[in-house]
Every structure is written in structure tokens, then in C-alpha cells.
Amino acid sequence: MTGENIFKKNMSEESPRWLHKITVAFTALFFFLLPLQTRFIIRAPIDHGVPYEYGTISVFLVEVIGWVVILLGLIRARRFQVPALSAGGSGFRFQALWLLPIFAFLSIAWAPDKVIALQASVRLLEGILLYVVISTKRVERARGEISREENKYGVRFLAALGMTEWWIFAFLIGAVIQAGLGIYQFLSQSSFASTVLGMALHDPRALGTSVVEFGQERWLRAYGGLPHPNVLGGYLVIALAVAIAMLEKLQTPQRFQRLGVKVLVPIFLAGIFFSFSRAAWIAAVVVIVYWSVRIWKKKNTPAMCHWLLVMIFLLFVTFSFRQLIVGRVSPQSSDRLEVKSRTERVSGLRESWEFVKKHPLIGVGIGNYTQAIKRDVRPGQPLYSYQPAHNVSLLIWVELGIVGLALWAATLYYILKRSKHVILMFCCFAVLLLADHYLWTLPFGILLFWPIFALSTTYKQETS
């Protein structure tokens, strides 16, 4: 055997081992560090001392880790013949996933700010690639193609815990840290800044800080390490849904794992509550209703006891801060901030509809909603006054037109159809998509939306 053949043989034997271990480590690291806001800023417009987020060019650390995961996944795809990535593949339905990012890149041509459009297109592509790579890995597990390799080279400490879904475990640990930080911020009414963690200082006395007003008092809402309390609330709702799905999956002998996940549920609910995000509250109620129906339908006594304890805890927290809740949700609330919030949301929806009528087919360009408003609707105003519409579907219609909206709907249908917990995931995300924009506009939202759907993907053997 020649030296070249020996080298190729050794590489073919060793590559699965190191490649699998690196893939496991980086994917777990990605889910754990997902909420980390550390980034390198390339361009940051500032007006009146306030940075203009939707005109900022930057690279987040978690984005870089995401691209490493994608690269490792594509390398693995050459070794395992997975239907989703093979030449025969699952046909047009899978290939249609690429039509949305392709059209997003095309929209750069007519976008006012082409650099922002390029950044938004790249982030959308990264999200979809992460969905493909992570769901492909789950397909490999379902087909049993790498089970022997995982048993041999798997992550030892997680195997000892009995956690087969170590990425979900990493995601939940990252989320509970954010929930704990948010709970601390609200109860202490203080926060701290950290350049390394990408966290800003939030002072409830300062204008621009998200607070709940009650009389003359200003209560700091929980931010965690994220840019806004609404984002924290949505993140924790998704973590709550994932935890409930894990409780359904874990078997009775896995009592320590089940106990750990059970402890996380009230922590997530407390973090959601202290974010005072109305959209997150509604989504959490939907998730709790789903969970309640599943528990009472199965008539599982330990699960019913856990549910009852969680409900008692939630009632206690709600009663303790009932006055703040009334000020936050009452339609008759006369608090200045609540009136301003409702006015801005209604105004944003009206502006969106005007743009839809002007650019119905192809939109104004991905990532360029606020730039289009500045150019065509309200020129000359402070940069911080330009905010995206709080509805993802309407926002996509404005930026990518009816063509992009149709591609988005087709993509969403495809991934929901392959989701194991389709009702839970749809109900959870539907509220957030209808009531806010960060799942489309912010890097964290994009990198949260697509990989979480990938974790819920199931493999179905295709038939001829």
C-alpha cells in the first residue's frame, strides 16, 4: 500500500471521531451562548446619543459560532447520505427552502441601504442553513446511521445524565441563566453593564429604559442580557415550550433529568412575568393551556402535582404584583408609556400598510423597512424614532413584497409539517410573530427561530 493510500485510510478512520466531537461541542456551545450579545461593531449611526440599531453593521460572536456549526455540518453531510442533502433528496419541497434567501439577496438591488440588506440576507441564510444542518443531524440519529459512533465518542457527562438531546439541554441551561438574571434585575431594580457580555446598563430613572409606570413609580422590566424585555420574554416562552416538550419525552426512569426540567418551569415563568411583555404573557398562557390539556388527558398523577405547584406559584407572583399588571394590560390605562406604546404600534401598522400598497410585489428590500420610512414617510426625524412594524408577516410583505411573503409562508409550512410538536411550536411562535418583529429583524431572533424548529424536526422515511 502506498503512502498516499495509507494516509487516506487513516484520515477516513479518524475523521468521524474528531469531527463528531467537534460538532457536538460547537453545536452545544451555540445553543448555550445564543443570548450572548457580544459583537464587533463595524458601523453604528448615533443620533442624540442613541445608537440606531437598524442601521448598525456588526458581527455577533454567536453568529461566528453558528457559521462554524454550519461548516462542520456540511463536512459531515459528505460522509452520511441523508435524504435532505443527497442528490435525490426530498425533492422540490426541500429545495424550496433556498428560494427565500435567494429572493432576499436579489432584493439588495432595489434596497435603499444595500449594506444593511446584504447583512440581513446573510443572517437569513445563516438561519436557514442552521435549520438544515441541525435537522439533518437529527435525521441521522433517527436513521441510526451514527448511533454506534455516538455511543463510542459521545459526550460522556451528558451520557451519564441520560440526556440524549444535549443541544436542548445546553439551550435550557442558557435560558435559565437569562431568566435568573432577569429576575434579579426586577427584584433589585438594578442592572450592570458588561462589554464582554454585550450588556448595557439599564437605569429605571433614565428616559428610554423599558419600565412599567405605576403612579409616580418607575419599575424596571427584566432585560436579562438581551436588548429588550420583549425579547427576553419571547426567548423564555420558547424555552418554556421546549422544557414542556422535554417533560413529555423523558421516561419515568430518568427521574433526575425530569426533576431538573421541572425546576426550570417556574423559573422560566417568573422570568416571563418580570419581563412584562404582553406578547410573551399571551404566548405563555397558550403554552400553559396546551400543557394543562396534555397533563389532564394523560391523568399522570406526579405530572398533575407538578402542574398544581406551578399554578400556585404563578398565582402568588401575579397577586403580589397585581397593580403593575393592571397598568400594563388594561386598555383604559392612562399611563404615559402605555399610551405611547399603543400609539406607536398602531402608527407602525398603518405605515406598513401604506408601503404594501406602494410596493406590493417585491417590497423595499430586506432589512430596509426603517430606511424606507426615513426616506419616504417621515424624513428628518431622530433615528431612534424609526422602528419596524410589530408584525413579522406584515414586515416581510413590506420588505420582500407578496413574492417574499409567499416564500416565507411556504417555508414555514414546510418546517411545521416536519415538526414533532407542531401544535405547541405553532401556538408559541404564532403569538410572537404576530405581536413583535425581533424574530425577523434581530440576529438573536433569527438564530433562535430557525434552530429551535430544527430541534423539533422528526424524520419520516420517504416512499416511492
Q: What is the pLDDT confidence band of residue 320, given thresholds at 50, 70 and 90? A: very high
Contact 269, 313 (CB under 8 A): yes
Predicted local confidence at residue 85, as pLDDT: 47
Q: What is the pLDDT confidence band of residue 206, given thresholds at 50, 70 and 90? A: confident
Predicted local confidence at residue 442, as pLDDT: 94
Across residues 212-219, what is the average pLDDT? 83
Predicted local confidence at residue 460, as pLDDT: 42
DSSP 249: H
CB atoms within 10 A of CB 358: 12
- Strands (E) across 191-247 are located at 211-214, 217-220
Q: Which three cell numbers stand for residue 140?
A: 441521522
Predicted local confidence at residue 38, as pLDDT: 92
Answer yes or no: is pLDDT of 222 > 90. yes
- Give 310 or 462, the one with higher predicted confidence: 310
CA angle 342, 394, 400 (to 5 degrees): 145
CA angle 74, 79, 84 (to 5 degrees): 60
Predicted local confidence at residue 114, as pLDDT: 94
375-406 burial code (b ≥16 CB/10 A, e <16): eeeeeeeebbebbbbbbbbbbbbbbbbebbbb
Q: What is the pLDDT confidence band of residue 18, given thresholds at 50, 70 and 90? A: confident
Ranges 212-226, 305-319, 438-452: which has the least confidence: 212-226
- Strands (E) across 205-321 are located at 211-214, 217-220
Quick one: which of 444, 441, 388 has its CA closest to 38? 444
DSSP 222: P
- Give 401 or 424, the one with higher predicted confidence: 401
pLDDT digits (tens, 9 = 90+) for 134-164: 887 655 554 444 444 444 433 333 333 333 4
Predicted local confidence at residue 251, as pLDDT: 65
Predicted local confidence at residue 273, as pLDDT: 96
Predicted local confidence at residue 237, as pLDDT: 96
Q: What is the pLDDT confidence band of residue 252, given thresholds at 50, 70 and 90? A: low
- Indicate the residue type of 217: E
Residue 1 lies in a domain: no
Predicted local confidence at residue 449, as pLDDT: 94
Residue 234 lies in a domain: yes
Domain limits at 97?
A: 14-455
Angle at which helices 255-275 and 166-188 cross, to 10°: 40
Contact 133, 70 (CB under 8 A): yes
Across residues 89-113, what is the average pLDDT? 80
Q: What is the pLDDT confidence band of residue 348, given thresholds at 50, 70 and 90? A: confident
Question: Considering its fold, how many domains does the chain have in total?
Answer: 1
CA 455 remoteness from chain centre: 12
Contact 456, 420 (CB under 8 A): yes
Across residues 373-380, what is the average pLDDT? 82
Contact 188, 194 (CB under 8 A): no
Predicted local confidence at residue 334, as pLDDT: 52
SS3 223: coil
Predicted local confidence at residue 326, as pLDDT: 84
Predicted local confidence at residue 464, as pLDDT: 31
Answer yes or no: is pLDDT of 15 > 60. no
**Percent of the chain beyond pLDDT 90?**
45
Contact 403, 361 (CB under 8 A): yes
Pairing state between β 211-214 and 217-220: antiparallel
Predicted local confidence at residue 89, as pLDDT: 42
- Indicate the residue type of 292: S
Predicted local confidence at residue 359, as pLDDT: 83
Quick one: which of 271, 258, 385 has its CA closest to 317? 271
> How far is 39 from 56, CA to CA, in rounded Å?
11
Answer yes or no: is pLDDT of 4 > 60. no
Q: What is the pLDDT confidence band of residue 335, given thresholds at 50, 70 and 90? A: low
Give the dihedral of Cα atoms 302, 304, 309, 314; nearest 10 deg: 150
Answer yes or no: is pLDDT of 79 > 70. no
- Give 342 or 298, the one with higher predicted confidence: 298
Contact 16, 79 (CB under 8 A): yes
Determine phi and psi for 194, rounding to 5 degrees: -150, 115
Across residues 303-313, what is the average pLDDT? 92
> How far is 404 from 396, CA to CA, in rounded Å?
7
Residue 125 lies in a domain: yes
> How far is 132 from 24, CA to CA, in rounded Å?
16
Q: Which three cell numbers stand for residue 28?
A: 452545544
Answer yes or no: is pLDDT of 175 > 90. yes
Predicted local confidence at residue 140, as pLDDT: 54
Residues in the chain: 464
Contact 65, 33 (CB under 8 A): yes
Predicted local confidence at residue 90, as pLDDT: 47
- Residue 310's Cβ-side half-sphere holds a number of Cα atoms within 13 Å equal to 25
Predicted local confidence at residue 179, as pLDDT: 97
- Rounded to a whole number, what is the distance in angstroms from the first to the last CA of the chain? 42
Residue 461 lies in a domain: no
Q: Which helix (H) or strand (E) holds 150?
A: helix 147-153
Which residue blocks in 78-165 are alpha helix, DSSP H? 92-95, 99-106, 114-143, 147-153, 156-161
Residue 427 lies in a domain: yes
Predicted local confidence at residue 236, as pLDDT: 97
**Percent of the chain beyond pLDDT 70?**
81
Answer yes or no: is pLDDT of 275 > 80. yes
> How far is 109 from 251, CA to CA, in rounded Å?
53
Residue 5 lies in a domain: no
Residue 460 lies in a domain: no
Predicted local confidence at residue 145, as pLDDT: 46
CA angle 123, 358, 446 (to 5 degrees): 15
Across the chain, what does the average pLDDT equal? 81
Q: What is the pLDDT confidence band of residue 286, given thresholds at 50, 70 and 90? A: very high
Quick one: which of 243, 268, 144 has its CA closest to 452? 243
- Give 268 or 322, the one with higher predicted confidence: 268
Q: Is 162 left (phi over 0), alpha (psi -120 to 50) or beta?
A: left
Residue 291 lies in a domain: yes
